[in-house]
Amino acid sequence: MSHIFPRHTKAHLPVVAGGEGCYLIDTDGKRYLDGSGGAAVSCLGHGDHAVIEAVKAQMDRIAFAHTSFLTSEPAEKLADLLIEHAPGTLDRVYLVSGGSEAAEAAIKLARQYHVEKGETQRGHLIARKQSYHGNTIGALSAGGNEWRRQQFGPLLLQMSHIDPCYEYRYREDGESLEAYGRRSADALEEEILRVGPEKVMAFMAEPVVGATAGAVPPAPGYFKRIREICDKYGVLLILDEVMCGMGRTGSLYACEQDGVAPDILCIAKGLGAGYQPIGAMLCTAEIYSAIESGSGFFQHGHTYVGHPAAAAAGLAVVGAMIERELIPRVQTQGEALMEKLRERFGQHPNVGDLRGRGLFRGIELVADRETKAPFPPEKKLAATIKKKAFEAGLICYPMSGTIDGKLGDHILLAPPFIIEDAQLDELVDKLETGIEAGL
């Protein structure tokens, strides 16, 4: 009998024995095409020797040294590399162990920044209904994923959630994409005015939404308008790129494509590519200097911040993305994947929307294309597709949820950046098998 406490207590999972490129292999020798990189993690694929060697070499030198006493070479170099390519005035990197930790650190830094500046009344965070920022209490409070929040209501912090920028569901008939983007962003100004601008500390959003709704990009101009509104009211902009960042959408930082830079940015997942647990929070020179010239101490931290072996993995992963020119490859393979999805599912009666950027693609399933009515939750469509696709040898990331009753079942695809054309065909074939079996 196993003593592992799995997330799905009723599932009996195969045991992973190895991995090679885009495939995972279980102890029975069955191969699974990793069509979602787990959860948008394995961007370099499995068994990347350069990254493994970099981690080993760091472990041979020193695995751990507490950051209260010592910094480390890989942590310093990784921070330099991330900032060299970062947008706007992002200038400092706080290394953590994953996405939820990055989100928690971002929320606390936003609050501390205002406290350091004497604006102690600013403690309200605005986020969006269609978002996921992690599973710890602060990050979960910021997220709008109803399914994940449901039973923890009494524990969650007071934050407000505005409508997402989600044109498939929220754009009105005859409204241009640009007009919708503006209207959608203006909801932030309304909420700031409702709460009282002097009380709002930050707005938090994913540039391309991942785990709540399957790769939803913003409408053109949305984030530029959001940036203007934040600046007008002295509200910090926190962008959560835990899922969509680190090359996943075709640029190292996802927000580059929207022409905006945040005050605070969160990354994780693809940063370590699964070789080590690592995330990071980046902030501007202005925010850092408010702390430096104020209390001189960020009132936050976990034992494993700045872990040297994890930093060595991050350094090797980002280095590999740049040296191997994988980000342009994400753009071409991402277009190729989208084309194949359009060919296969573009006219499918139960596929309402195909979307995304780069190798971050989403499929929204509907009971009726005309009315966009979702399938009833009792059908458990996403769960069945996940199971059937897995049996067919594909790992993909189906999800279901609801926002104001508007959201149904989605599938997120986020394969490794090294995926070949033939593997894209295999992915689409096996996905079709899973979808048809689920329907």
Residues that bind ligand PLP (CB under 6 A): 39, 98-100, 103, 132-134, 206, 210-211, 240, 242-243, 268
- Minimum CB separation from ligand PLP for residue 321, in Å? 19
Min dist. Cβ of residue 279 to ligand PLP (A)? 6
Rounded to a whole number of angstroms, the CA Rg of the chain reads 21
HEC string of 235-267 equals CEEEEECCCCCCCCCCCCCHHHHHCCCCCEEEE
Distance CA 74, CA 88 (A): 24
By C-beta, is 189 or 218 nearer to ligand PLP?
218
- Which CB, 135 or 433, lies closer to ligand PLP? 135
Q: If you write DSSP's letter for every residue of 392-419 in order, what string do you get?
A: TTEE-EEEE--STT---EEEEE---TT-
E strand or H helix at 214: none
Provide, rounded to whole angstroms, the least separation between the CB of residue 304 and ligand PLP: 13
* Nearer to ligand PLP (CB atom), residue 165 or residue 366: 165
Taking the complex as a whole, the smallest distance from the CB of residue 120 to ligand PLP amounts, in Å, to 28
Q: Which is nearer to ligand PLP, 31 or 148 (CB)?
A: 148
Nearer of residues 300 and 348 to ligand PLP, judged by Cβ: 300
Return the structure tokens found at 261: 């830079």
Q: State which H helix or E strand residue 57 sits in.
A: helix 49-61
Helices (H) and strands (E) in the chain, counts: 14, 15
Calpha distance 282→95 (Å, rounded): 9
Name, in order, each residue with C-beta under 8 angstroms of 318's C-beta and a sequence gap of 6 or more: 78, 81, 82, 246, 252, 271
Q: Which is nearer to ligand PLP, 133 or 183 (CB)?
A: 133
Nearer to ligand PLP, 34 or 240 (CB): 240
Give whichever of 242 and 309 is closer to ligand PLP, judged by the CB atom: 242
Cβ(236)–Cβ(263) below 8 Å: yes
Helix axes 326-345, 421-438, angle to 10 degrees: 40
Smallest separation (angstroms) from ligand PLP to the CB of 244: 7
Q: How many CA atoms lie within 13 A of 336 on its CB side?
A: 18
Cβ closest to ligand PLP, residue 98 vs residue 374: 98
- CB 207 to ligand PLP: min, Å: 9
Task: Kindly state the DSSP code that residue 364 receives in the 8-state scheme.
Answer: E
DSSP letters, 139-187, are HHHH---HHHHGGGGGG----EEEPP--HHHHPPTT--HHHHHHHHHHH
Residue 103 or 389: the one with the smaller Cβ distance to ligand PLP is 103
Name the minimum Å distance from CB 108 to ligand PLP.
Answer: 15
Tokens of 4: 């592992």
> In the complex with ligand PLP, which residue's Cβ is closer, 265 or 312?
265
Q: CB 262 → ligand PLP: shortest distance, Å? A: 13
Q: Are 310 and 304 in contact (CB under 8 A)?
A: yes
Q: Shortest gap between Cβ of 360 and ligand PLP (angstroms)? A: 11
**Minimum Å distance from CB 247 to ligand PLP?**
15
Residue nearest to ligand PLP (CB): 99
Which whole-number Å values give the CA distances from 160 to 121, 191, 202, in the listed order? 16, 8, 11
Q: How many CB atoms lie within 10 A of CB 1?
A: 2
CA dist., res. 65 & res. 69, Å (int) = 8
CB 19 to ligand PLP: min, Å? 19
